[in-house]
Amino acid sequence: MSVMAHHDIIADSPPTAPARRETAAGPPAAEAGGILTIDLDALADNWRTLAGRAMPAECAGVVKADGYGCGIEQVGAALSKAGCKTFFVADLSEARRLRPIVPEATIYVLNGLMPNTAPAYAELRARPVIGSVLELAEWDSFVAAQNWRGGAALQVDTGMNRLGISINEASAMAPRIRAENHGITLVMSHLACADEPAHPLNERQMALFREVRLLYRGIPSSLANSSGIFLSDKAHCDVVRPGVALYGVNPTPGQANPMRPVIELKARIAQVRVAARGDTVGYGATWTARRGARIAILPIGYADGYLRSSGSSDETPGGFALVGGKRCPLAGRISMDLLAVDVSELPEGKVRRGDMATLIGDGLPIDEVALAADTIGYELLTSLGRRYHRVYRRD
């Protein structure tokens, strides 16, 4: 992560409350259009909640996509301090950033073994998640030539049809575990519909993976993602791999969110302007003032990860911002660097240049914001931009 500023400050706290330490990164707060606050204590609490639910299985931490947009270094350090000993990243570049933060942890690389990259795994002491026979052949060749004993995971496709060897291939390969140095440290698969508990594919995948576990008896196994932890104890196996739930997204859609919110996004109002009845706002003139309106302009847009699909039109409502403690609807399309909020319902003079508006958090949970953008919390988190002043909060 490119860090333009970095310093520790002590947050203002009530006299009876312990001070919380805050680390700032990115452009100075006064110069940034928005302030993104990431609560590392909430993140750690979420990991503990998931670890407790999955016991006696080990609870790993998925920190791919730059820690789901929250910063892989900061997230990795917080999870390690909480007790996490196994991490999953997407590629070698993420493993390279994470390794100095968690020098003794196990790191698995989910996207597998790209051609001619085996030496990098040895250098980083990272483990590839092998997803094809060709990958396994290349890995075995490297291991034999270098006498490498760092281990690897074997991914088996039980219904996702993405990465992973087939059930038949897994069965054919199973005898290799009788060898003393077989090198398989984890057998894993991935649930396709864990966030839909009634979906029949869940039971089918769990049944197929149970067969795989029997074939690879004695090798640790992993199936459950965030939602899979809440799906069934049968999905827990030996290691669970929560990702998005760590960052506060609801792993049980349609039910109360068991996770603490982790991020808060606020933007500074750049201007408050008046739109006469019949005036339009934004590109495409899609939003029309039905009466005289006051419009607050925020210096955040889709270049900052506030998705274009959050915008509104005369026909389709969009998202909201909290201004002065009140929900105010977005007005018009989201631009690259700007968005507009209709603050007409607030008393005149209540909204001023320089005031802060909340876009995520404090009554606007990330799942609701994502729904208004016709997407999921995963996309919203991982789209968070680098122009924010970032505040990492911890005790």
Q: Which residues are catalytic?
A: 64, 283
DSSP 106-129: EEEETT---TT-HHHHHHHT-EEE
- Do β-strands 356-360 and 320-323 pair in parallel, antiparallel, or remain unpaired? antiparallel
The token pair at 1 is: 């992560």
Residues 6 or more apart in contact with residue 389 via CB below 8 angstroms: 24, 25, 26, 27, 28, 29, 31, 32, 34, 35, 36
Residue 184 corresponds to which amino acid?
A: I
| Cβ within 8 Å of residue 176, ≥6 positions away | 182, 184
Encoded tokens for 221:
């196994």
Residues 125/146, Cβ–Cβ less than 8 Å: no
What the block records as the tokens of 187 is: 């057998």
Torsion of CA 68, 71, 74, 78, to 10 degrees: -10
Query: Token digits for 167?
Result: 């059930």
Cα(394)–Cα(13) distance, rounded to whole angstroms? Answer: 13
CA–CA dist 253, 251 (Å, integer): 6
Q: 239 near 60, Cβ under 8 Å?
A: yes
